[in-house]
Structure 1
Amino acid sequence: MSKLRILQRPYLSSPECFQGVPVFLAQILAARGVQSERELELKLKHLFTTEMKGLSAAVELVDQAIDQQAKIVIVGDYDADGATSTALMLLALRAMGAQVDYLVPDRFKYGYGLTPAIAELAFSRFHPDLLITVDNGISSHEGVASAHALAMKVIITDHHLTTKAPPAAEAVVNPNQLGCPFPSKALAGVGVAFYLLAHLSRQREQQGKLSVKMTQFLDLVALGTYADVASLDHNNRILIDAGVQRIRQQQCRIGITALLDVANRDAAQLRAEDLGFVLGPRINAAGRMETMDIGIECLLATEPTQAYTLARQLNQLNLERRQVETQMKQEALTALSQIQFDQDDLPAALVMYEEHWHQGVIGIVAGRLKEQFHRPAIVFAADQDGIHIKGSARSIEGIHIRDAIERIAEKQPNLVRFFGGHAAAAGLTIHKNDFVAFKQAFNQLIAEMDPDIFQATLWTDGELEEAALQLSTVEQIEQLGPWGHQFPAPVFQGVFQIDDYRWLKDTHLKLWLRLGNGERVEAIAFSAKDKFTFDQSNAQVNLVYSLDRNVFNGRVSLQLNVIHLQH
């Protein structure tokens, strides 16, 4: 595990502008760039209304297709963002009277995006007039050309980064395409789809045509946005909060309710992070282990029997995914242990490949390695063609992983066949025989970067006054959420007296801490045996922690969730 430095976030502005918010919470908000009370109002009326480039053209095409009863096919993606985007498109367009089906590429057979093979498959299966991509397509130049050759029009809706001109589709909607004025570049694929459908529905309503109220689908928008780890700018926080409220009130897809029940979670107590850590992994498991059709059909289900059958299937696939992930990670760590390096001499990047590794889990394993060693990681698995290997990359703060791969592709075009993604995550395909050459090139590129980037840093919001160590603070923090990527939940640090301790299941550490005012507070360090060195003879402990509530036998009490522990 990488060495860790603990730093306090700087306060970026004066907190006086937040009425009714305690000073320490106002400072926390200011440290996250919140400048006004308006940014604390998560109301739909505050959503950005600036039109995205290509949106009007896309709306006109879809509107015309509905009126003419043309055949539409949604080309989705095999993650939670793609699944929610696909379900959203199907539900909204069908409600507006469209003839629409969907197709999600088998990741193990066709790979990612609108490829020529997918265009041909869509044509042979559905004979559509119009293809609409969701959460993919911004780099699908050849796929669009193939679709046109088969007399199919194409609308691309995507959110992935690009520095190139988009494909020659009839319309391209992506806030990250060159020249798009939309203020938020953080929309997930489902967010882009939502904006297109909202404009379409509004236009059809104004023209007296069959339309639909789009707010009823915000549960899907929230789920896809949070599960895709989109940055929580004000716009995304509005979308997520609205969706979470609908789920809590049981105004959501029955498939989401079923997934929560199968996971033993109470919908009424849903938190935004549950979208990413409870629902997201179960939907993602379908695309990782089998076919995303299972996840999409669960989100589309209208009958409880069907929804719960599919939810249980997704839950089982997630269990299998976790088993495969654990085995692959252990194999990766074993391989790394055979390389002679220590904490002061870690390689700049971790690039690994094993013939038998599961293609659907390499992204998760790359993420685990990145977290443990604080190095960008790329994990490869064999492609079905036996010639290529597919990699999934995860990066640390300060290294834009997609751009790094692009730099290699530009310098050595023969090394990288396909690539795409974000700053923190990307995917790529290379020739199996080029693995060693790619690994050397990537390591050399990363090694040339600022050494300070490779120092793992844990940011905190400083010490919390003892008077604030109470359940009401937990409630105040929750009310200021949702918290997530680029808008992290508050994390505090402090030195505490240890009053008592106990090991739970020989791995989790339970602490009872004595405060200066004589009161006791509980703390829990999950998997502490694997993470920390605990000296039971030491009466004091330095903790980095978040605040939570512990519910036990009907009793609710404050609990510190330990993130880091040192004496």
Structure 2
Amino acid sequence: MPKICLRPKLSSPEDFSQEWHPLVREIYAARLQNAQEVEKHLKRLLPPEGIPDIYVAARRLSEAIDKGEQVLIYGDYDVDGANSTALMVRVLKQLGAKVSFFIPNRLVHGYGLSLSGIEALTAVPDLLITVDNGIRSHSAVEQLVKQGVDVIVTDHHEPDTTLPNAFAVVNPKRQDSQFGSPNLSGVGVVFYLLLALRQFRREQQQAFPCELTEYLDLVALGTIADIVPLDYNNRILTQAGLRRLQSGQGNIGIRALCAVAGLSIDTLSPSDIGFAVAPRLNAVGRLEDMQEGVCLLLTDDWATANDYAHLLDELNRDRKALENEMVIKASATVDSSQAIASAYLPQGHEGVIGIVASRLKSRYQRPALVATDTADGQQIKASLRSINGVNIHQLLEKAATQLPEASLHFGGHAMAAGLTVDKNYYVPLVQALNQTFVQEIGHIPEEPLYIDGELPEHLLDVNWARYLEQLEPWGAGLPIPTFCNTFTVTECRKLGAQHTRLMLRHPQSGKSLPATWFFHSVDWQYGETIRAVYQVQVNRFYGDERLNLLITYAESPHYHLLS
């Protein structure tokens, strides 16, 4: 049972404009250091200065455009990687570059710039640019350099102690970075490289017939999907991208995905993107080939986009079924007695183990690892997901030093990582991870369930939910406002196999409120009193707007968990 407590203040509510509702000032004071961070104007976006190698890369890219060199964009198979690829290809084509792209297949080539991925290229380019990957691809970069290829690495993942021997390595997480927003997504790094390219070409009095703000919807999608912290700079990028989509001027492929998901473009929210749009785009990279996802983002033809969107929608249904099956198997075999909850599924699908790890992390409230065999049966691939206070990437780095002979390859960041290891070393690796956890951290950090207080009865309505929508984006690093109240259950029924639909009555006013609790199935009785932690949302259906409470945690003296 988590400890529920008020989110601590980072600043004073009095620092924020009196135009805001008093509760909004309290909410901001618990998230922001000062009132200036509320402003989300593009003119306040940080300049590219401070990102290492960014102008070196811009100069080389400009040269490739002018000389008509062959430029290859080497992407990644997740949403951030697909948007990074699409953004780079779209802009470079507008600038007249000879550009193509390659997305490695998760099951064939593995993650990132790899030797097998290089072998799959149909032609050797003059310039290869990685997007959302490459920061640890030392051997692959060396191979390309030997072939006479200039390599520009753009990435946002954690670097090694040494950098790849590339022409330029553009990463705001480099130790020598002086950029004020190290939390850029992969597509955010690409956007900044293009800003630097525009600046360089204008200084050289060269053409740049492209309006980069037209592509901020791609930046927003990648930023939200990759769950990077929404710091001040990322909020500016994300809000501008959302506004473009809401205006109906956004990417046709994204709009087609919204259509198949039944979303209204003019009220599109970060949660719509995170829970409906991104999973559909991710599904093709998990189960098949993200080349199709990039083609969706590159087309300007509605019929073509619609065909791709329906394909991705079908794949997402397949992904959900596979995920549910694997969660059941993982839950039956998981070792939850250790610091890291681990499950080995020999016949699991590589493309889904990351989602299963996320589900186990949420269920057991500790870092989780889910592993499966590679296609050749010689190695094991695993995905790890972590909790606040446990940097899983650092744990991997330290555990790896205990197994220098294990042929361990890994990458990621504090909250998520992926690895490949020889099969014989899987069990020793899990043991090393748990030992490292005990030595470095000692115990599972207790994660408080932070709330913004009890919501007054007069704010339990759809107008308050609409008001909070206007303050978006909320997300990682800027948590969505969360409240806690006591209610009486008047109706409780299953929603599908895993979720619960409720009707709750506010005890003082008697107001009846619909609520949903995803991934929890409970059997509360009529008249039962519960304490619920929740967020407010606007439920839109054929033009009708109603309040819905989205429960994130609830407890009752007679609470009974079915699944």
- TM-score range, shorter-chain basis? over 0.9
Offset from partner CA, 1:487-508 (integer Å, 9 cap, x none): 110111122355x334355862
1:210 Cα deviation from its structure 2 partner: 4.0
Counterpart among 481, 485, 494 of residue 472 in structure 2: 481
Partner residue, 1:132: 129
> Structure 1's 77 and 550: CA in aligned 2 closer, same or farther, altered over 3 A?
closer
Kindly indicate whether the alpha-carbon contact (under 8 Å) linking 1:204 and 1:211 is maintained by their aligned counterparts in 2: no
Counterpart among 349, 362, 377 of residue 371 in structure 1: 362
Alignment of 1:286-297 (within 5 A): 286-297=284-295
Offset from partner CA, 1:301-329 (integer Å, 9 cap, x none): 11112111111111111111111111111
> Structure 1's 501 and 565: CA in aligned 2 closer, same or farther, altered over 3 A?
same
- For 1:146, the aligned partner's letter is Q
Counterpart among 358, 382, 387 of residue 391 in structure 1: 382
Kindly indicate whether the alpha-carbon contact (under 8 Å) linking 1:532 and 1:566 is maintained by their aligned counterparts in 2: no
What CA distance in whole angstroms lies between the structure 2 residues aligned with 1:448 and 1:464?
A: 42
Counterpart among 361, 378, 381 of residue 372 in structure 2: 381
1:262 counterpart = 2:260 = yes
1:16 counterpart = 2:14 = yes
What CA distance in whole angstroms lies between the structure 1 residues aligned with 2:521 and 2:415?
A: 24
Q: Secondary structure at the match of 2:296?
A: helix
1:491 counterpart = 2:482 = yes
What CA distance in whole angstroms lies between the structure 1 residues aligned with 2:160 and 2:116?
A: 25
What CA distance in whole angstroms lies between the structure 2 residues aligned with 1:117 and 1:149?
A: 16
Q: Secondary structure at the match of 1:169?
A: coil
Q: Secondary structure at the match of 2:169?
A: strand
1:77 counterpart = 2:69 = no
Alignment of 1:58-137 (within 5 A): 58-122=57-121, 125-137=122-134
Partner residue, 1:211: 209
Q: Secondary structure at the match of 2:3?
A: strand
Partner residue, 1:230: 228
1:534 Cα deviation from its structure 2 partner: 2.5
Counterpart among 536, 541, 554 of residue 526 in structure 2: 536
1:561 counterpart = 2:550 = yes
1:541 Cα deviation from its structure 2 partner: 2.5
Q: Secondary structure at the match of 1:453?
A: coil
Offset from partner CA, 1:396-418 (integer Å, 9 cap, x none): 11110111011011232123521
Partner residue, 1:503: 493
Larger displacement relative to structure 2 (143-152 or 41-50): 41-50
> Structure 1's 550 and 255: CA in aligned 2 closer, same or farther, altered over 3 A?
closer
Kindly indicate whether the alpha-carbon contact (under 8 Å) linking 1:85 and 1:190 is maintained by their aligned counterparts in 2: yes
Alignment of 1:32-47 (within 5 A): 32-36=31-35, 38-47=36-45
Q: Secondary structure at the match of 2:419?
A: strand
1:532 Cα deviation from its structure 2 partner: 4.4
1:523 counterpart = 2:514 = yes
Kindly indicate whether the alpha-carbon contact (under 8 Å) linking 2:492 and 2:523 is maintained by their aligned counterparts in 1: no
- For 2:502, the aligned partner's letter is K
Runs of 4+ in 1 over 6 A off after TM superposition: none
Partner residue, 1:332: 330
Offset from partner CA, 1:442-462 (integer Å, 9 cap, x none): 122223454563434321111
> Structure 1's 388 and 376: CA in aligned 2 closer, same or farther, altered over 3 A?
same
1:525 Cα deviation from its structure 2 partner: 3.2
* Unaligned 5+ runs, structure 2: 557-563
Counterpart among 169, 174, 178 of residue 172 in structure 1: 169
Partner residue, 1:512: 504
> Structure 1's 553 and 252: CA in aligned 2 closer, same or farther, altered over 3 A?
closer
Kindly indicate whether the alpha-carbon contact (under 8 Å) linking 2:339 and 2:444 is maintained by their aligned counterparts in 1: no
Percent same amino acid among aligned pairs? 39
Partner residue, 1:453: 444
1:558 Cα deviation from its structure 2 partner: 2.8
> Structure 1's 314 and 550: CA in aligned 2 closer, same or farther, altered over 3 A?
closer
What CA distance in whole angstroms lies between the structure 1 residues aligned with 2:281 and 2:55?
A: 32
Kindly indicate whether the alpha-carbon contact (under 8 Å) linking 1:97 and 1:210 is maintained by their aligned counterparts in 2: no
- For 1:447, the aligned partner's letter is V
Partner residue, 1:362: 353
Q: Secondary structure at the match of 1:380?
A: strand
Counterpart among 403, 410, 418 of residue 412 in structure 1: 403
Partner residue, 1:156: 153
Kindly indicate whether the alpha-carbon contact (under 8 Å) linking 1:409 and 1:416 is maintained by their aligned counterparts in 2: no
Offset from partner CA, 1:405-450 (integer Å, 9 cap, x none): 1101123212352111010000111111111111211122223454
Partner residue, 1:548: 537
What is the TM-score normalised by the length of structure 1? 0.93
- For 1:252, the aligned partner's letter is G
Counterpart among 209, 234, 239 of residue 241 in structure 1: 239
Kindly indicate whether the alpha-carbon contact (under 8 Å) linking 1:163 and 1:177 is maintained by their aligned counterparts in 2: no
What CA distance in whole angstroms lies between the structure 2 residues aligned with 1:368 and 1:416?
A: 28
Alignment of 1:175-214 (within 5 A): 175-206=172-203, 207-214=205-212
Counterpart among 314, 329, 335 of residue 316 in structure 1: 314
What is the TM-score normalised by the length of structure 2? 0.94
- For 2:24, the aligned partner's letter is L
What CA distance in whole angstroms lies between the structure 1 residues aligned with 2:363 and 2:420?
A: 25
